[in-house]
Chain A
Amino acid sequence: MPTDPHPFPHRHLTGIYGLQPWEIAFLLDEAEQWIALNRGTAKHDDRLAGLTLINAFFENSTRTLLSFEIAGKRLGADVVNMQVAASSVKKGETLIDTAMTLNAMRADVIVIRHEASGAVQLIADKVDCPVLNAGDGRHEHPTQALLDALTIRRRKGRIDGLRVAICGDVLHSRVARSNILALTALNAEVRVVGPSTLLPPAIERMGVTAFTDFDAGLDGADVVMMLRLQRERMAGGFVPSPREYHALYGLTPERLERAAPDALVMHPGPMNRGVEISSSVADDPVRSAITEQVEMGVAVRMACLDVLTRARRGVPGWN
């Protein structure tokens, strides 16, 4: 049991790594209240009123940026979006300089996405306010893992003991890494499934079982989590072609038969329909949780913004 005075003793959220299972569960519990608020008509709470949230995105993003923007606005924060295409920023000191600039502008919470693994931690070490990782390279994407866990928990009633198959381009996926950390911490049985070219070396050491045979990996899965395969990786570098990938690793209704009868289908988006997932599966109203994931995303991000700014807002017990 935690001995800390409050249930989330972390200044930043740079990853799932380092979080205790009860801390993950605490964030999920906190998110529940925001689901209800978001479904109502008056989607507003002003607990972050007066605080400035900066979304600093060094890599292109539409959905995650929008999700954080909505989350911040619904909590009453002043939200500023800074989209910097990574190519236009000179690498080097510039990243630190940017961090110092944001710090000098007295941001109260900064959300960062960057193409390089570890870049968010680098910034977090330099600024005075809480930093939230919205995806750094292939490293982590913690709010995605939290929203996935929340989706699973709500649909399945539990996470403990579920068999979860994470399928596709695990090698390049920060979503996969954060999900492996979160789901294994919450006692799920996690499998990774994909061609050997897209499975990271020594991935078993993260407590998962690796499969290169899609059908074997799907066998009895309670949750099938598909990953996006970027177009440029299907041109022979990692996979011979999109159609071969679809034939071997595309989730079709027939393939899904291998999983548990009530298996949940998830995808972090954006989807390549007809490549890693067929439309009939993606749009299946019973099995697919893909739109619900997006909904949970806003709630989870509201919870994270709320919890991480409590010390700053002087919430009793959170100094």
Chain B
Amino acid sequence: MKMKAMTALCATLALSAPLVMAGGADDDKMVINGETEMVTKTTAPAHMENVSEIMSGWHFRSDETQALQLDDFDNPGMIFVDQALDAWNTVEGSAEKACASCHEGPESMKGVRAVYPKWNADAGEMRTLAMQINDCRENQMGAEKYKYDSVPMASMEALISVQSRGMPVNVAIDGEAAPYWEAGKELYYTRTGQLELSCANCHEDNYGNYIRADHLSQGQINGFPVYRLKNAKLNTAHGRFKGCVRDTRAETYSPGSPEFVALELYVASRGNGLSVEGPSVRN
């Protein structure tokens, strides 16, 4: 009885959805708080061979979901920014320092989100924003690291991202970054899991098309961290990567793993030119 009912419901939705929902990206304009004009569609970076125009995932969402991101009060992601601001000013660790002890106000982080992941010459490694935050916590503050894709980490990323909101994503892919970028690109086009899907199969070949009753975006990460309606919290890019790879029915890489760091650099570079949106609101 219950199984039949569920099947009937799914069948009804599957039949009715394409008839009543619009297809791909819309042409709406994103202006935050009535003042910050955002670039949500632009010419694809030169390195992208198969896509001519890049666009924010915002364009693939319903008007109601889009509206949640247009005003900071309506955006539930800003709750987490508030919480991170408290953390920013809280002294933690053996060095008895807060973020504010070295960096003063969070405004000092303007521009940071736009250029991460970034090569760190001193450490000789490719660093995501999360890695940089944890490096500060561990080595400057003597505090415990945040779990890579935890809510406190996503919240701190959101506080830092919001300082760069509206600035174009501009990650470097040459020089020392080049091998990481190549590794990320390799992963992007590699099919994984029982379903044998690569990132590109969904987000390059089929963006704008339906996947069940939903439609696929380009998989841009300029809006991360993202407040998702489905779990009502902020989500990190690596958390999303993990979800995507798992959905191909593959063993996933771990958030913070070298594979996902490389993938983040590559995917971020596919959004070079789009405005930093974080914290954005998605389904």
Answer yes or no: are A and B bound together in one complex.
no
Measured CB to CB, the residues of B under 8 A from A are none
Measured CB to CB, the residues of A under 8 A from B are none
